[in-house]
């Protein structure tokens, strides 16, 4: 296998630079994400294209400072037009965003085609602006871009406290007398610049993904702003590295799509696998609750048997238990196993008996069931024949605090509305 | 914060001929009143009567069409440190990734400490504010994990951390539990006893009469202002609430027959007539 590229310093410089640009976009994009301006970010990314093209036409070369200036102007112009359409026309916000995006992008493509056809266009490398082409980047340009990226990162660190407040509660910031107008212009300019820089890495079309996806992936994993930004920065940096390496290893492979594929994969993983908030974690919690409900229902069934036989110390055969309440055979088997393992039931052949802890637990569940029936009957004035189904589900949910409150409010009743005794701890 | 001594009776808020509109639709017409220090004042009126707009105008959050607002006899920008604003709870995204403490810290942000970290003395004030509203033990929680009442208390703590002399609060009692209602009332009473002034936008007439000393009764124009007994008359309420009157006339009867404890503490001068005094 041909491993020349591992030792290519310029490759690693470009990779590092691309990572830095992506990290900057993710960092600044974190605030865009939190201000719920993701769509605006997308529109600005597309609107930057005509500015870049005009800057190229005027300067006649791909000078990074000229291109950034053009990007900044046309990005800001698109923001201003969106703002104007919002305030002074009856167009809804999404319409304003969509029209600005398509008009600016259309003009940009037009100009790009024109440049491509001119003689100088062939060496321009401007086509990389659509999907990003890290491999085509010149080192000197990259240094300028990286300097700008570092500037943006330092501004974010210096203004962190203010940007946090501005994103969370701008009116309060204004009421404190903070220069909200200036801060907003600053944050918007940083967004435009970060987008213009990120475009060098992933291109215009997929830029919004670089701005927003890292934060979307990170939000599931952290409850704090700093934590969220750190995670998003790591996600963006890693994806940029993967994208660049692939684009270098396969000739004429655009960088952007690979960066975005990698980003999206991580975001999906976070969506599914994040602790607590992820879909898998929530499914597992549902599973746990389902098991708890089965176990409690089983204990309750055995308790009812005990009531019938007038002895909680008796041994009950499995068939007696299923005679009281229907359980699926598999479910019953595993529930019995769990209860034995927890030390709540004792087994002898096919018969079962409460342990002391098991009897206490069964009493608690029956008590909650009957207390809740009492409450529904007394407080909500539901008839005695309507309350059982509701209590069947509530008995598994009522916490010790709510139980204490119920007991106090009902004044420790002895019998439920069906005249069954309410069991207390002996 | 302020070294000037608060004098009960000093005019802390003067709204002068204020008119304001949203999208050219007038919401406030020539509102004109003054409030003196050391009382709890309710701004009440039906839905859409301009209560929140009035508060936003006082805080300079929107442009007035005409008229002006003076705070402590000065323009808002000169006395920002002495004024605290509590927006409606629904006005922010409670899923935002910040902790309770971080939100309360925002009460210590100043144009002066722009770009600087908060000082230890600021952190101490934040701790005290959290303790006063009973939220110190939740300081590290993300704000989305709180109940509605707890979120409201976080906003109150942020205002307390500002250590102001005039507090303007927009519907702090909406959607809160009994414990939070008690906590808020206790804090408000303490503020009043310290000679501070609290102005609260409130939509519920019944509780308004219990909570506040004075009222500003609003329905696009100013219907009445002054001690609650003089404001809550049948005529005023009918004027403010127009058609929907059956409940109201009952309510004003209840008030007239003085079933509510009526107190008038520290209120010597009728608002609206005295000249602004220098503090």
Q: How many angstroms away from the CA of A151 is the closest CA of chain B? A: 15
> Is A227 within 8 Å of chain B by CB?
yes
- B106/A169 CB distance under 8 A: yes
Match domain B11-256 to its CATH number in 3.30.70.980, 2.160.10.10, 2.60.40.420, 3.40.50.300: 3.40.50.300
* A231 touching chain B per CB within 8 A: no
**Cα angle value B67/B71/B77 (rounded, 5°):** 90
Contacts of B142 in chain A (CB under 8 A): 223-224
> What is the distance, to the nearest Å, from the Cα of residue A418 to the centroid of all Cα atoms in its chain?
48
* Cβ-Cβ contacts under 8 Å, A168 against chain B: 92-93, 96, 98, 103, 106
For range A133-158, the mean pLDDT: 88
Complex ipTM value: 0.83
Does B63 contact A at CB distance below 8 Å? no
Task: Kindly state the tokens that stand for B202.
Answer: 């409130």
Q: Which residues in chain A (147-206) have CB-CB distances under 8 A to chain B?
A: 158-159, 161-162, 164-165, 167-169, 171-179
Give one word for A276, left, alpha or beta, with left for phi > 0 and alpha for psi -120 to 50: left
- The predicted pLDDT at position B205 comes to 87
Which residue among A165, A174, A178 sits closest to B61, beta carbon to beta carbon? A174
Chain A contact set for B117 (CB, 8 A) = 161
C-beta separation of A180 from A174 below 8 A:
yes
- Cβ proximity of B232 and B215 under 8 Å: yes
Contact A177 B111 (CB under 8 A): yes
Q: Do A177 and B80 touch (CB under 8 A)?
A: yes
CB B91 within 8 A of CB A169: yes
> Any CB–CB contact under 8 A between B87 and chain A?
yes
Task: Round to whole Å and give the CA distance between B153 and B180.
Answer: 7
Query: How far apart are alpha carbons A233 and A30 in whole angstroms?
Result: 9
Note down pLDDT in tens along chain B; length 279 residues. Answer: 444 445 556 899 999 999 998 877 788 889 999 999 999 999 999 888 899 999 999 999 999 989 999 999 999 999 999 999 999 999 999 999 999 999 999 999 999 888 888 999 999 999 999 999 999 999 999 999 999 999 999 999 999 999 999 999 999 999 888 888 999 999 999 999 999 999 999 988 889 989 999 999 998 889 999 999 899 888 888 888 875 545 545 555 555 554 454 344 443 444 443 344 433
Name the class of domain A4-275. Answer: mainly alpha
- Closest residue in A to B101 (Cα) is A224
Q: What is chain A's mean pLDDT, rounded? A: 89
Give the model confidence (pLDDT) of A346-390 as tens digits.
Answer: 999 889 999 999 999 999 999 999 999 888 888 888 888 888 888
User: Residues A107-129: pLDDT tens digits?
Assistant: 999 998 888 887 565 555 677 77
Instruction: Show which of residues 97-116 on chain B sit within 8 Å of chain A, judged by CB atoms.
Output: 97-99, 102-103, 106, 109-111, 114-115
- A225 neighbourhood in chain B, CB within 8 Å: 96-98, 102
Residues 248-267 of chain B whose Cβ lies under 8 A from any Cβ of chain A: none
> What pLDDT score was predicted for residue B206?
86
Q: Per-residue confidence at A324, pLDDT binned at 50, 70, 90?
A: confident
Q: Which residues of chain B are within 8 Å of residue A223 when distances are taken between CB atoms?
A: 97, 99, 142, 144
**Residues of chain B contacting A167 with CB distance shorter than 8 Å:** 96
User: Closest partner residue to B111 among A36, A167, A179, by Cβ?
Assistant: A179
CATH 1.10.60.10, applies to A359-410 = yes
Q: How far is B59 from chain A (nearest CA, A)?
A: 6
Q: Under 8 Å CB-to-CB from B190, ≥6 apart: which residues?
A: B132
Q: Does A222 touch chain B (CB under 8 A)?
A: yes
Residues of chain B positioned with their CB less than 8 A from the CB of A172: 85, 87, 106, 158
Burial of residue A325, with CB atoms counted within 10 A of its CB: 0-12 exposed, 13-18 middle, 19 or more buried: middle
Structure-token pair, residue A259: 């960066």
Q: What is the pLDDT of residue A387?
A: 85
d(CA A263, CA A210): 8
**Residue A103: CB atoms within 10 Å:** 15
Fold type of domain A281-354: Arc Repressor Mutant, subunit A (1.10.10)
Nearest to B106 among A158, A172, A222 (CB): A172
Which residues does A85 contact at the CB level (< 8 Å), separation at least 6?
Answer: A91, A95, A96, A99, A100
Is the CB of residue B178 less than 8 Å away from at least one CB of chain A? no
The residues, any chain, with a CB within 8 Å of residue A217's CB and separated by 6 or more, are A231, A232, A235, A263, A266, A267, A269, A270, A271
Report residue A34 as tokens: 């939190």
Contacts of A222 in chain B (CB under 8 A): 97
Q: Do B61 and A219 touch (CB under 8 A)?
A: no
Interchain CB distance below 8 Å, B111 and A176: yes
Q: How far is B16 from chain A (nearest CA, A)?
A: 20
CA neighbor of A252 nearest in space, from A141, A133, A138, A142? A133
At A309, list the tokens. 């036989």
Q: What is the DSSP letter of B99?
A: B
Residue A147 has pLDDT above 60, yes or no: yes
Cα distance between residue A200 and residue B265, in whole Å: 68
In A, minimum Cα distance to B106 occurs at A165
pLDDT of B243 reads: 56
Q: Which of A145, A173, A179 is nearest to A16 (CA)?
A: A145
Residues of chain B neighbouring A224 (CB-CB closer than 8 A) = 97-99, 142
pLDDT exceeds cutoff 60 at A1: no
**Beta strands per DSSP E along B116-265:** 166-170, 197-201, 214-219, 221-227
Query: Residues A70, A78: contact at Cβ < 8 Å?
Result: no
CB contact under 8 A, A224 and B93: no
Strands (E), chain B: 11-22, 25-36, 40-44, 66-71, 83-86, 166-170, 197-201, 214-219, 221-227
B33: closest CA among B240, B237, B227, B268? B227
Determine the pLDDT at residue A13: 85
Residues of B in contact with A165 (CB under 8 A): 106, 109
All residues of chain A having their beta carbon less than 8 Å from the beta carbon of residue B159 are none
Q: What number of residues does chain B have?
A: 279
Report pLDDT for A123. 54
A6-20, A303-317, A355-369: which has the minimum mean pLDDT?
A6-20
Query: Which pLDDT score, from 0 to 100, does residue A56 have?
Result: 87
Interchain proximity A224–B142, CB inside 8 Å: yes
What would the pLDDT profile of A202-261 be if each residue is shown by its tens digit? 888 889 999 999 999 999 899 899 999 999 999 999 999 998 888 888 767 788 888 899
Chain centroid to Cα B161, Å, comes to 16
| Residues of A in Cβ contact (< 8 Å) with B98 | 164, 168, 224-225
Please report the pLDDT score of residue B273 as a whole number: 39
| DSSP-derived secondary structure letter, B185 | H
* Both structure tokens of A246: 């692939």
Q: Do B59 and A175 touch (CB under 8 A)?
A: yes
Nearest to A175 among B85, B102, B117 (CB): B85
- Contact check, Cβ <8 Å, B87/A225: no
The pLDDT value recorded for residue A134 is 75
In chain A, list all ranges with CATH 1.10.3470.10: 4-275
């Amino acid at each position: 296998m041909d491993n020349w590229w591992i030792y290519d310093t310029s490759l690693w410089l470009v990779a590092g630079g691309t990572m830095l640009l992506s990290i900057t976009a993710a960092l600044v994009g974190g605030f865009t994400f939190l201000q719920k301006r993701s769509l605006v970010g997308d529109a600005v990314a597309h609107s930057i294209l005509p500015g870049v093209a005009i800057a190229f036409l005027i300067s006649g070369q791909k000078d990074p400072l000229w291109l950034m200036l053009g990007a900044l102007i046309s990005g800001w112009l698109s923001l201003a037009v969106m703002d104007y359409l919002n305030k002074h026309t009856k167009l809804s916000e999404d319409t304003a965003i969509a029209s600005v995006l398509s008009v600016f992008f259309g003009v940009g493509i037009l100009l790009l085609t024109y440049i491509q056809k001119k003689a100088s266009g062939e060496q321009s490398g401007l086509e990389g602006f659509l999907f990003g082409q890290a491999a085509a980047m010149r080192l000197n340009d990259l240094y300028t871009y990286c300097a700008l990226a570092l500037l943006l990162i330092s501004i974010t660190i210096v203004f962190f406290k203010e940007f946090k407040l501005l994103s969370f509660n701008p009116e309060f910031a204004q009421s404190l007398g903070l220069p909200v107008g200036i801060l907003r212009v600053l944050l918007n300019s940083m967004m435009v610049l970060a987008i213009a820089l990120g475009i060098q890495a992933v291109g215009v079309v997929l830029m919004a993904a670089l701005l927003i996806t890292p934060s979307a992936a990170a939000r599931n994993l952290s409850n704090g702003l700093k934590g969220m930004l750190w995670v998003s920065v790591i996600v963006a940096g890693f994806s940029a590295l993967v994208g660049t390496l692939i684009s270098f290893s396969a000739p004429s492979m655009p960088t952007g799509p690979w960066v975005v594929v990698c980003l999206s994969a991580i975001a999906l993983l976070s969506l599914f696998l994040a602790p607590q908030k992820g879909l898998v974690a929530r499914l597992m919690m549902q599973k746990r609750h389902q098991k708890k409900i089965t176990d409690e229902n089983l204990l309750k069934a055995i308790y009812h048997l005990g009531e019938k036989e007038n002895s909680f110390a008796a041994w009950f055969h499995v068939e007696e238990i299923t005679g009281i309440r229907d359980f699926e055979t598999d479910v019953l088997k595993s529930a019995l196993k769990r209860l034995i393992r927890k030390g709540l039931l004792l087994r002898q052949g096919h018969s079962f008996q409460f342990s002391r802890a098991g009897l206490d637990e069964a009493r608690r569940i029956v008590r909650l069931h009957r207390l809740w029936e009492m409450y529904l009957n007394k407080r909500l004035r539901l008839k005695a024949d309507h309350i059982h189904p509701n209590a069947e589900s509530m008995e598994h949910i009522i916490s010790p605090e709510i139980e204490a409150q119920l007991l106090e409010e009902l004044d420790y009743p002895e019998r439920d509305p069906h005249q069954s005794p309410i069991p207390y701890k002996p | 914060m302020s070294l000037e001594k608060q004098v009960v009776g000093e005019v802390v808020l003067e709204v002068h001929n204020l008119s304001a509109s949203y999208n050219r639709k007038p919401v406030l017409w020539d509102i004109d009143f003054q409030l003196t220090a050391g009382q709890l004042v309710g701004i009440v009126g039906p839905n859409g009567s301009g209560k929140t707009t009035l508060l936003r105008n006082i805080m300079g959050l929107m442009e007035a069409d005409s008229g002006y607002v003076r705070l402590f006899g000065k323009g808002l920008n000169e006395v920002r440190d002495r004024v605290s604003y509590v927006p409606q709870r629904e006005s922010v995204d409670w899923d935002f990734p910040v902790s309770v403490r971080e939100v309360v810290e925002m009460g210590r942000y100043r144009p002066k400490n722009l770009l600087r970290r908060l000082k230890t003395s600021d952190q101490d004030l934040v701790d005290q504010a959290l303790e006063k509203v009973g939220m110190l033990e939740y300081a590290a929680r993300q704000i989305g994990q709180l109940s509605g009442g707890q979120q409201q208390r976080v906003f109150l703590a942020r205002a307390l951390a500002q250590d102001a002399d005039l507090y303007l609060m927009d519907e702090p009692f909406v959607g809160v539990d009994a414990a939070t209602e008690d906590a808020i009332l206790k804090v408000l009473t303490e503020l009043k006893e310290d000679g501070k002034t609290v102005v609260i936008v409130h939509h519920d007439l019944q509780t308004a009469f219990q909570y506040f000393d004075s009222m500003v009764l609003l329905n696009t124009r100013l219907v009445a202002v002054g001690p609650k007994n003089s404001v809550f008359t049948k005529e005023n309420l009918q004027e403010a609430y127009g058609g929907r009157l059956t409940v109201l006339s009952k309510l004003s009867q209840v008030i007239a027959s003085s079933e509510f404890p009526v107190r008038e503490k520290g209120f010597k001068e009728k608002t609206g007539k005295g000249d602004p005094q220098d503090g």
